[in-house]
Amino acid sequence: MKFSRRELLRLSTAPVAWACTSACKSMGRGVLDLPAPAADARLHYGADPLQFGDVRLPQGAGPYPTAIMIHGGFWRAQYSLEYMGHLAAAFARAGIASWNLEYRRIGNPGGGWPNTFLDVAAGADYVRELAKKYPLDLKRVITVGHSAGGHLALWLAARPRIQSGDPLATLDPLSIRGSAPIAGVVDLRRAWELRLNDGAVAELMGGPPEKLAKRYHAGSPIELVPLGGRVRLLHGTEDSVVPIEISNGYQKAANRVGDDARLVVLPGGDHFGPVDPRSEHWPSVEKTVQSLL
């Protein structure tokens, strides 16, 4: 189901309100200040108004390798998918199709655990429906996410590891070839210990890990290793929003159990530079994503 023209205009021009940390100030908000290039289509993957995504396609006949993209913002309602449109447009120029997901967040009706997870799961599985209309290569699908979206992107790749009967389990999850979290919050317990973004993890999960161990086990990618697929964690050394130690810790835990996980260090990179296609770090991001496909 498509949005009406009026809804599409309203949603595509909605402001993105980031809390401007030192990392944000260091790049003058960068990509966050610019409206993203228009998508080829905006489609619903569910009945809720926030269950939609943007499709962007490369030129040519296809079938195209495809990136499922998930925005950050510490899972909060005030942040939207808009800025990830810049990455999606850059991927299209590189021959990669994209499905940029919106989902219910903290502050939205129904947002937080479990629906934030269930929304991105439903959105990812909807790629099978998209492939009936667009020339997408279902054998070459990866996930790319930024910050909290990096958590959700890697979690999508980990879904087959969730035990049957868990509220987050999916009977037949879409096969993910690889995942590229950018400054990802890929260890929820450690992020909770660090009280990142004023305790956003506890808001997402409904409480601390010592009280909700099962939720954290099913929702935190580091607790679901080995994933079996390739993971490339991109992280700037000067990230003051999500410290690089989180990606480093994930890589070490994944490698110990035999996963092909690598940390791609971006020297001097802050939290937002790696998601700006104009930045010095973008060639490394694009090359890493292409390597997964």
Query: 15 pLDDT band (50/70/90 cuts)?
Result: very low
Residue 204 CA: distances (Å) to CA of 47, 110, 138, 187, 293? 22, 11, 30, 13, 31
Whether pLDDT at 111 is above 50: yes
The pLDDT of residue 34 is 85
Whether pLDDT at 81 is above 90: yes
Whether pLDDT at 17 is above 50: no
Which range, of 11-15, 127-131, 145-149, 205-209, averages the lowest pLDDT? 11-15
Query: 4 pLDDT band (50/70/90 cuts)?
Result: very low
Whether pLDDT at 23 is above 90: no
Cα-trace Rg, the chain: 17
Contacts of 291 (CB under 8 A, 6+ apart): 232
Query: 26 pLDDT band (50/70/90 cuts)?
Result: very low
The pLDDT of residue 90 is 97
Which CATH number do you get for residue 282? 3.40.50.1820
179-234, pLDDT tens digit by residue? 999 999 999 999 999 999 999 999 999 999 999 999 999 999 999 999 999 999 99
Quote the pTM value.
0.90
Whether pLDDT at 9 is above 80: no
260, 220, 184, 261 alpha-carbon torsion, rounded to 10°: -10
Share of the chain above pLDDT 70, in %: 90
Euclidean distance between CA atoms 187 and 194, whole angstroms: 11
The pLDDT of residue 25 is 37
Query: 32 pLDDT band (50/70/90 cuts)?
Result: confident
Mapped onto helix, strand or coil, the DSSP state of residue 5 is helix
Q: Provide the mean pLDDT of the chain.
A: 91
Range of the domain at 87: 5-292
Which range, of 4-8, 33-37, 197-201, 283-287, averages the lowest pLDDT? 4-8
The pLDDT of residue 232 is 98
Euclidean distance between CA atoms 35 and 226, whole angstroms: 38
What kind and span of H or E run contains 42?
strand 41-44
The pLDDT of residue 5 is 34
The pLDDT of residue 29 is 52
Whether pLDDT at 78 is above 50: yes
B/e letters for 212-237, b = 16+ CB within 10 Å, e = fewer, are eeebbbbbbbbbbbbbebbbbbbbbe
- How many CA atoms lie within 13 Å of 17's alpha carbon, on the beta-carbon side? 5
Whether pLDDT at 58 is above 70: yes
Identify the residue whose tokens are 């909700």.
Answer: 212
The pLDDT of residue 153 is 98
Euclidean distance between CA atoms 181 and 263, whole angstroms: 10
135-168, pLDDT tens digit by residue? 999 999 999 999 999 999 999 999 999 999 999 9
Most distant CA pair in the chain: distance in Å? 52
Whether pLDDT at 7 is above 70: no
Per the structure, how many domains does the chain have?
1
